[in-house]
Structure 1
Amino acid sequence: MAGLIDLKGMNLDANGVFMLGMTILAFLIPIVLILPPVPLQKSDALLQTHSLAGLGAAKSNLKKQHATATHAARDGQPASVQSLVIYPVKSCKGIELGRSKVLPHGLQHDRIFTFAQLRSPFPAPAASDSNNSNSINKGEGEGECWEFITQRQFARLATVVVELWLPDEMKLRRQGLNTTTQREVWMILRFPWRERGWRGWFEAMAAKVAGGLRAEPQREVLLPVDFPSEEEVKERGYTYENVRIWKERVRALNLEKDLSEELRLYLGVSNRLGLFRLDPAALREVHACAPSKESAGYQPVTGFQDAYPVNIQNLNSVQQFATEIPKDAGLKKLDILRFRPNIVVSGAPAYEEETWKKICLKSGSSGLYNPLRLHIACRTTRCKLPNVDPADGTRHASEPDRTLRKVRNVDEGAPLKGCLGMQSIPLFDKGLTGDDLETWIGVGMTLEVEETGKHVVPQ
């Protein structure tokens, strides 16, 4: 009998514990839904004063890039600007825009940063002292050189998300901040990263609570975009160093101090990893196939682009080329973003852009933007970078590079190389100098060909 009573008592205790647990859950679930246990990020403060630049996926002008009929050339109708894309960090994900300011070195904020690794004639792994101020300030040693990196070597760069946060005047006013002085632009780099053990489990759960079941934990790096003053350079511990872009050495600002070790490990870089900010006072001059300084009214320049400030891609050309590529599980459709365009054109016959020498983009009767003229310098010779899928960073073993070299070997100045797209240089109204050398470009502007001719890639 006593055993039965004890058993009943145990059942009663279990029921009580169950009811207590349910009560606690009922109390906590609404709190978790309203205030999820997600770790705060430094960038969260930007939501109060800044707005995210760019078009979201739902508003992308490239959603129907594979619809051939949509972008076909039509008699009596001019070609037009279908999309605009910038890549603030060379080889990382781009940002699609509806409009952009155009500067001598390209679309505003395009390729003003590049990652680089410190190369050495002797083994030089990324030691733990890469975050040591003495190591950073020391810069290049004997025989060492900072060399830019791209998806050619490190395909995971394609998965590094870049966000630009621009000051929002309305938000600043609501915060009672000075809209004249609070004008700093910020950049956030986001990349997948999960710690091992229980920390990784918590990060995964927090990511799914905040972003949905498919969300994965990420790390972020917060960086200033505007070029800092000399006082800020010293305060933040940045250094001026040379970085090699192809055969050129460019003096730029190294923001290595702000990078995380996790980012280097994620990318798979074994050497020291730096992030260089273009110095507006040390732009790279462009001479080959470019208008002269006297003709253009200014010396053509570029930033961390491979060679020229603005790349143009014709959607019809990409679609036509796509029909030549053998498709497989690794390449079902050819995304135009594999070719890293700045300006995507719709409504022009396939490959007609290769005859353009000078074009003018106009906003039509709206008069929203002044006409923008572009000098078309040469074809774009292609390497193996387009083999990397911009969506997930996977690298195809051979395509589209193999087909490019086979069917797009069309330039006598670049034998055995495939060409797709055109390189261009902005032209500005005569008499403008310095900071006045700027204009705007917007989606929907119509394209007028002012001059045609033959192109040969400079050797």
Structure 2
Amino acid sequence: MATVSNLILYPVKGCAGSPLTRAEVLPTGVLHDRTFMFVRESDGVFRSQRSTPKLSIIRPELTVEADKLTLSAPDLPSIALDVSTEGRRLTVEIHGVWRGKAVDQGDEVAEWASTLVGEPLRLVRVAPDHERAVDDWHGTITFTDSTALHLTSLSSLDDLNARILEKGAEPVPMERFRPNIVIKDWTVPYTEDDLRDFTIGTARLRWVKPDVRCKVTMVDQPTGTSAGPEPLRTLADYRREPDGGVSFGIKVAVTTPGEVQIGDELTAL
């Protein structure tokens, strides 16, 4: 019986995650997941660990009401802000294919983050009328890359790390892959690849595509520094995708919203 091992919320795209014991899953994914993101001040282009790896050391804490956001980082005083949903709107861009309006969160947090990463940034939040989807198959999303959820499994990580150890390199932690849902108790690694339609808790979910991995997986999350070439080097030995890149885990859309908790069973339909 496969069950949920970990649930993770990422309030700010590219920043550290927060563990959950229970998650409300909406059509756009875990409630409040990636509803904030940092953008380049000059043109509104999103920042992620691909371009700004130091974002990984920022730890966001969002109140239950989602009206206050606290950001903390090593060697810098934390900052708390009242979340704005009706403030000044900026034009923002994600992956060069989506442009829309997002709500700017003010000068104070912009200065805080810019000082930390050494690049002029603004923090924005999804607007109340936010609408975004790659297409109907991918489903509706917030500021995520392309789908509502990312799912991985412990058995797959164990298999990957065994291969990495054979190369004489250090194993990688699951946080490098930044999943929302981690599944345990599958005896066969990469069982998630064969999922199509499934339930966890009261949510019904569906496979969208393999999760093709980028250089974010080579960022040491606690320090925001490059720690490559693993895991991409080893994944390239056996997880190459026909259309390019290497995959680990799957991208998932929400068919029916619901609630997911640690220990819930995953049932393939």
TM-score by length of 2: 0.92
The match for 1:79 is: 2
In the alignment, the residues of structure 1 paired with residue 106 and residue 254 of structure 2 have an alpha-carbon distance, to the nearest angstrom, of: 32
Match of 2:152, SS state, is strand
Question: Which of the residues 225, 230, 233 maps onto 1:402?
Answer: 233
The Cα offsets for residues 272-328 of structure 1, whole Å up to 9 and x where unpaired, read as 3111101241221242644xxxxxxxxx30011110011001111111111222589
> Which ranges in structure 2 are unaligned for 5 or more consecutive residues?
none
Distance apart, 1:266 and its partner CA:
1.7
The Cα offsets for residues 178-217 of structure 1, whole Å up to 9 and x where unpaired, read as xxxxx56311001233xxxxxxxxxxxxxxxxxxxxxxxx
> Which ranges in structure 1 are unaligned for 5 or more consecutive residues?
1-77, 120-144, 167-182, 194-217, 234-238, 291-299, 363-370, 429-437, 451-459
Look up the equivalent residue of 1:116 and give its one-letter code.
Answer: V
Note the 1:188-267 alignment, pairs <5 A: 188-193=70-75, 218-225=76-83, 228=85, 230=86, 233=87, 239-246=88-95, 247-267=97-117
Instruction: Name whichever structure is richer in strand by fraction.
Output: 2
Look up the equivalent residue of 2:159 and give its one-letter code.
Answer: Q
The match for 1:148 is: 46
In the alignment, the residues of structure 1 paired with residue 136 and residue 153 of structure 2 have an alpha-carbon distance, to the nearest angstrom, of: 23
- Is the Cα contact below 8 Å between 1:310 and 1:342 reproduced in 2? yes
Highest RCO, 1 vs 2 (Cα 8 Å, sep ≥ 6): 2
- Is the Cα contact below 8 Å between 1:90 and 1:111 reproduced in 2? yes
The answer on 1:90 being equivalent to 2:4 is no
Shift in alpha-carbon separation, 1:424–1:304, aligned structure 2, 3 A: same
Shift in alpha-carbon separation, 1:302–1:186, aligned structure 2, 3 A: same
- Is the Cα contact below 8 Å between 2:10 and 2:33 reproduced in 1? yes
Shift in alpha-carbon separation, 1:185–1:404, aligned structure 2, 3 A: same
The structure with the larger Rg is 1
Distance apart, 1:98 and its partner CA:
0.1
Match of 2:198, SS state, is strand
Note the 1:17-416 alignment, pairs <5 A: 78-119=1-42, 145-166=43-64, 185-193=67-75, 218-225=76-83, 228=85, 230=86, 233=87, 239-246=88-95, 247-269=97-119, 272-287=120-135, 289-290=137-138, 300-325=139-164, 332-348=170-186, 349-362=188-201, 371-409=202-240, 411-412=241-242, 414-415=243-244
Match of 1:285, SS state, is coil
Distance apart, 1:405 and its partner CA:
2.6
The Cα offsets for residues 16-59 of structure 1, whole Å up to 9 and x where unpaired, read as xxxxxxxxxxxxxxxxxxxxxxxxxxxxxxxxxxxxxxxxxxxx
- Is the Cα contact below 8 Å between 1:154 and 1:268 reproduced in 2? no
In the alignment, the residues of structure 1 paired with residue 66 and residue 44 of structure 2 have an alpha-carbon distance, to the nearest angstrom, of: 28
Match of 2:196, SS state, is strand
Look up the equivalent residue of 1:418 and give its one-letter code.
Answer: V
Match of 1:111, SS state, is coil
- Is the Cα contact below 8 Å between 2:219 and 2:228 reproduced in 1? no
In the alignment, the residues of structure 1 paired with residue 129 and residue 107 of structure 2 have an alpha-carbon distance, to the nearest angstrom, of: 22
In the alignment, the residues of structure 2 paired with residue 263 and residue 105 of structure 1 have an alpha-carbon distance, to the nearest angstrom, of: 26
Match of 1:258, SS state, is helix
Look up the equivalent residue of 2:198 and give its one-letter code.
Answer: I
The answer on 1:440 being equivalent to 2:259 is yes
Look up the equivalent residue of 1:353 and give its one-letter code.
Answer: E
- Is the Cα contact below 8 Å between 1:356 and 1:376 reproduced in 2? yes
Q: How many residues align?
A: 267
In the alignment, the residues of structure 2 paired with residue 327 and residue 265 of structure 1 have an alpha-carbon distance, to the nearest angstrom, of: 41
Match of 1:306, SS state, is coil
Look up the equivalent residue of 2:185 and give its one-letter code.
Answer: G
In the alignment, the residues of structure 1 paired with residue 74 and residue 158 of structure 2 have an alpha-carbon distance, to the nearest angstrom, of: 32
Distance apart, 1:390 and its partner CA:
1.5
TM-score by length of 1: 0.55
Look up the equivalent residue of 2:247 and give its one-letter code.
Answer: C
Question: Which of the residues 218, 233, 250 maps onto 1:422?
Answer: 250
The match for 1:18 is: none
Identity percentage of aligned residues:
28
Distance apart, 1:257 and its partner CA:
2.0
The Cα offsets for residues 222-281 of structure 1, whole Å up to 9 and x where unpaired, read as 1234x53x4xx2xxxxx2121110021121112242315343122121xx3111101241
Shift in alpha-carbon separation, 1:254–1:448, aligned structure 2, 3 A: same
Match of 1:321, SS state, is helix
